[in-house]
Amino acid sequence: MKKTFNSALAEHFKNFVKLRRLSGLDYSPQEKMLLLFDQYLASHEHSGPLPTEMAEEFLHDAFGKSGEGPKSHYYQVIRHFYDYLTVIFPEQCRLPIDEHKRVNHRPTPRLFSEDELAAILRKAARISRHNEIRNKTLHATLSLAIACGLRRSEVVGLEMGDVDTTTGTLSIRKTKFGKSRIIPIGNDLCRILSDYRDFRLKKYPLVTTPRFFITLHKSAMSSGWLYQSFREVLWKLGMAPAAGYAAHLHDLRHTFAVRTISAWYKNGKDVQELLPALATYMGHSHYSDTAYYLTLTAELLGFALDNFDKVWTKEVTYDED
């Protein structure tokens, strides 16, 4: 049985969650956090505006002196609810924005050079001596990740009807933040995807999965298969170190973003003005997620400009044996 809000502020909690979902967010994890806060308020028989110490006492009871990561996440969700209550109660205070800041453990992503991207695609096209569908699937998926900066889940989730090589568009449906989007793709990628689809339909006409990418087992490609195959490519190319940070498939997404921003800088474009367009293309929920790449670009702009001029030229093509 689904839990419901029961405190004196129950209706305000419900309306707040509804408002957040109207913005396109799934908000289910955050709703569960607010349900726990609501239970705490109900147990203390609290009504009316929320004092600052109410949130702090709840976090202390829930996490004590440990669990700073979860505590930070809960605090941000509750802080937004406090902001919402200022519309309901004129005397409602706001929670400080700088409290319980999340520690950023995100490692600096690896940005692949032009030569590395070309080598990755060449190796992907020949990863197996006998398994032709594996070669073609891995080459096509990595081409897609490099050219469009898609998340691994978005590549895996593509269905036959989502790839329109006639109009040159991809339909990305209900992904990380519950949003869908249609993105344009270039002629080179259209050709790669069209060739892959023709090969699949000719060689595996009885495969029934609606997913676009398949494996030798005649089933939909899994996220784990793509991750392990990419790691194998890096290992065979000597790009997977024995120790320290190893590149992940998501680094192709980072590379795409920095490559795009670097090209804008080089061409004298207004990067701040164009960032919202990049955020939409990449499916970011918040502008700050895209602005993060400005830091990488500022630090690595020279590297990027030196290495991304020719990413989608003749080097990054499908090489037949």
The one-character DSSP state at 90 is: T
Q: Active-site residues: which are they?
A: 151, 176, 250, 253, 284, 293
Beta strands in the chain (DSSP E): 163-164, 169-172, 181-184
Helix/strand/coil for 159: strand
The one-character DSSP state at 162 is: G
List phi, psi (to 5°) of 181. Answer: -155, 155
Give the count of alpha carbons within 13 A of 95, CB side only.
26
Enumerate the H helices of 46-113 as residue ranges.
52-63, 68-88
The Cα 53–Cα 59 span in angstroms is: 10
The one-character DSSP state at 261 is: H
Say which amino acid occupies 80.
Answer: H
End-to-end CA distance of the chain: 59
